[in-house]
Amino acid sequence: MATREEKAAMIADLRERLRGTDLAIVTDFRGLTVGQMQTLRRDLRAAGGQFKVAKNTLLRLAAEQEGQGELSDILDGPSGLAFAGEDMVAVAKALTTFAKDADALQVRGALMNGRAIDPAGVAALAALPSREEMLAKMLGSMQAPATNLVSVLNGVARSLAYVLQARVEQLQEAGG
């Protein structure tokens, strides 16, 4: 049994994690083997996230102290939380991909930017393109008008050159 000071330290750690993330995904991890837990943690770390197992009473206290009481609604039974770093989509993808392979891991819901979302919302988040893909698409969209403008201007210059060349040939035929 943890002492009062240890519990206070755990609550402080959970508060810090909740404060430092935009996405906390709540899972039911019962039935996972130790090896699967290690794989899950490794996959989440690679995606920029972390996985933490904590008692629901401590999680509820930390969430309420951070003004994120909606988290309490999805805590039922042993809970594991996946905290996202900078890339929420990558963490959601890593977790849902792992959950497809390991039937024992169930996504219960999440807290995203202070609001609760259901498991379907987590799946929708995981289906989004990665941050790099979205940036590449945005950059492509921004470059497309400039590329099109250059093509149009080149076309006008090319057409003018053809007209001038045709006029030169016409004058040469008439004069020669």
How far apart (Å, rounded) are the C-alpha atoms in residues 139 and 161? 33
Which structure tokens are listed for 145? 């008008």
How far apart (Å, rounded) are the C-alpha atoms in residues 96 and 82? 11
Find how far residue 47's CA is from the centre of its chain.
9
> How does pLDDT run across 93-143, given as a tens digit for each residue?
999 989 888 888 888 888 888 788 888 888 888 888 777 777 887 887 777
Residue 29 or 2, more confident:
29
Is the CB of residue 137 less than 8 Å from the CB of residue 64?
A: no
> How does pLDDT run across 6-53, given as a tens digit for each residue?
888 888 888 888 887 888 898 888 888 899 999 989 998 998 888 988
How far apart (Å, rounded) are the C-alpha atoms in residues 164 and 170? 10
Of 34-43, 110-119, 144-153, 160-169, where does the model show the most confidence? 34-43
Measured N-to-C along each axis, helices 119-127 and 88-101 cross at an angle, to the nearest 10 degrees, of 110
**31, amino acid identity:** G
Per-residue confidence (pLDDT) for residue 42, from 0 to 100? 93
Give first-to-last CA distance, the chain, whole Å.
108
> How does pLDDT run across 59-103, given as a tens digit for each residue?
888 888 888 777 777 888 788 889 887 888 888 999 998 988 888
Cβ-based neighbour number of residue 107 at 10 Å: 22
Longest distance between any two alpha carbons in the chain, whole Å: 108
How far apart (Å, rounded) are the C-alpha atoms in residues 55 and 19? 18
How far apart (Å, rounded) are the C-alpha atoms in residues 75 and 69? 11
Per-residue confidence (pLDDT) for residue 38, from 0 to 100? 92
Per-residue confidence (pLDDT) for residue 16, from 0 to 100? 86
Is the CB of residue 91 less than 8 Å from the CB of residue 81?
A: no
pTM score, whole prediction: 0.70
pLDDT reading at 4 higher than 90: no
How far apart (Å, rounded) are the C-alpha atoms in residues 9 and 23? 22
Per-residue confidence (pLDDT) for residue 1, from 0 to 100? 63
Q: In what order do the strands lie in the sheet with 106-112?
A: 50-54, 79-83, 23-28, 106-112, 115-117
